[in-house]
Amino acid sequence: MELQKISSKGPQNSEETAELVNRRINLLTLHLNPVQEIPVHELELLRCAGKMKAINVSTETLSEYMRGKHRDIQEEVFAYFNSRPELQTPIEISKDEHRELCMKQLVGLVREGGIRPFRYVVDDPAKYFAIAEAVGSVDMSLGIKMGVQYSLWGGSVINLGTKKHRDKYFDGIDNVDYPGCFAMTELHHGSNVQGLQTVATFDPLTDEFIIDTPNDGAIKWWIGNAAVHGKFATVFARLMLPTHDTKGVTDMGVHAFIVPIRDMKTHKTMPGVEIHDCGHKVGLNGVDNGALRFRSVRIPRDNLLNRFGDVSRDGRYTSSLPTISKRFAATLGELVGGRVGLAYSSVGVLKIAVVIATRYSLLRQQFGPPKQPEVSILDYQSQQHKLMPMLASTYAFHFATLHLVEKYSEMKKSHDEELIGDVHALSAGLKAYITSYTAKSLSTCREACGGHGYAAVNRFGILRNDHDIFQTFEGDNTVLLQQVAGLLLKQYREKFQGGTLTVTWNYLRQSMNSYLAQPNPVTARWESEEHLRNPNFQLDAFRYRTSRLLQSVAIRLQKHSKTLGGFGAWNRCLNHLLTLAESHIESFILEKFIEAVKNCPDENSRAALKLVCDLYALDRIWNDIGTYRNVDYVAPNKAKAIHKLADYLCFQVKNIARELVDAFDLPDYVTRAPIGVQTPSEAYTQYTQNVGF
């Protein structure tokens, strides 16, 4: 560009021209030798590594602690698909072929592999989610198809129905003789379930419900298993009862009904049912999503899933719950397992991506000091900053979702109302936060692997496309975070009105006053490594931020509601509310990570987890350092110390990165990455052979 400027401006004096030419030559030289300065910083880091004792990590011991009691069932899933390579999804496959393969995979796993996930949906949810994680890592389409069959279709029958429904449908759902759908979403209503328009009108003369789609906006849309394989659907519709007044019918709210959509023998569409294929999607093309329209489809009265509301032969409605809103809340509360599963499965996807990117970065070598061997790209600080906080987050999310699954399992056994509220809030927040983080991280991992990351064999593109919809189904992430924010505000009001707070929010009860007090000017300046790595400091910092955000948004809402009304005030403060919800979820994640570190029985594994936990905490604090500086929670020198220590922890985690990713214990055909090799050069040779070089 500078030489072009010279020619465009006409003659220049020779000294100026020579200076510009020399400058351009120097720039070109730097392009040819761009990293001469970089290894110097790396060597400095190596010299200072003596400050921290080296950690000798046993991959097997750490993996045993990470994967816990359900490791065996996951190994059975992996072993089955390893023994049946023809059932492993190829890189290049058409939509129709992928759909048929997914069905074969599910049927084979259940009937030939002897793994029956449906039996654990209610009795041992933790085991079910462990199977779902393993199945989803083989093929995410298979994981979703299994979830539709067992968690959504099967789960709705078990959780919303009664004994007669379980007796009639359980075995057929379990062995996949009764493939089914979960027909909730409509073309015009997704998140707003109470706005569904499909109707189910009771006909007392025939003792039947008549299912109708009143308009195009009420067509059931994006229904998994509907386009090809489904024979039944749990249809959510407004229950309409005939009355003897001028209205003619009474709307009893949204209920669930079992509707046959295809003949059991011929597989032909049932009379009055119209099925359309939603076609090729961005991802998850092994799942046959379809659209359903109902034209006066008659079903027996017994097909009403009647746990929370029933209709007698003479058309009388009975329920143990007094209002439509309470019945609706109870119905959706029983379906929260879908969000739990998505949060858990999203962590599984993140594990795969981090394993592939980290292993590649350890073996890929580029540049180095003059006349010396090239260095691993993970030795570069920029690569460490891309991947090591992500690896730390993966561990943090793992322990947080394990806790969520445990709480959900406890809830299914106890039916405790307080626990139900906690699980609802946690599943909404963790599903939204983790799936959003994973979606961004998949792109980062692809970029971290350069051109080779663009090869389909390395799965980043497939994972990214398949996972993307996790941010939308089972509740749009933005909507779910608003629910969390709303619950936080409710707890805030109860705190200052003398009410009790539930376990999930207990830090508000215990410490709200101290968090909202002025920061201590002494501790704001503490910058020792011991202090910054103290879990009490880290957790207090996270909770302080949440409490500040909660107090400030409550004041803003009160102010704006006077002029804008409740809805307008909420919309005016919406980004603030989303930040509050994310902050609360981060506090919860850190709390569970700290607990997991303390509970680890092996000393070396505990030291490794502590290192990773510290990186997670300090990286998060540094990323939002402006918040802490604005209120003088952290003094300038302390902020610098946090940044410096986070950098150093990033480097230390890099030193045990191979052991940390190996502890996830993923099989070769899942990661598609070069593993189990002795040297980086051998690994790179294997890698290039795998992608056809």
Helix/strand number for the chain, H first, E second: 26, 11
Please compute Rg for the chain using Cα positions.
29
What 3 state SS string does 94-146 have? CHHHHHHHHHHHHHHHHHHCCCCHHHHCCCCHHHHHHHHHHHHHHCHHHHHHH
**474 counts as catalytic:** yes
* Cβ neighbourhood burial of 365 (10 Å; 0-12, 13-18, 19+): middle
Tell me the angle at which helices 381-414 and 125-138 cross, rounded to the nearest 10 degrees: 140
Q: Which two tokens stand for residue 435?
A: 């799936």
For every residue of 401-438, DSSP letters joined together read HHHHHHHHHHHHHH--HHHHHHHHHHHHHHHHHHHHHH
Question: What are the structure tokens assigned to 244, written together?
Answer: 């003897």
Q: Which residue has the tokens 């003659």?
A: 11
Per the residue annotation, which of 208, 474, 586, 591 is the catalytic one?
474
- Burial group, residue 180, by CB count within 10 angstroms (0-12, 13-18, 19+): buried
Cβ contacts of 261 within 8 Å, gap of 6 or more: 181, 226, 230, 231, 232, 233, 269, 270, 273, 275, 292
Phi, psi of 223 (to 5 degrees): -85, 110
List Cα–Cα distances, 199 to 210, 222, 235, 462, in angstroms: 8, 19, 10, 38
- Which residue, among 146, 147, 167, has the nearest Cα to 157 in the 3D structure? 167
Hunting for tokens 């089972």 — which residue is that? 474
Distance CA 157, CA 151 (A): 10
Residues listed for the chain: 693
Tokens in use for 564? 């804008």
List residues with catalytic annotation. 474
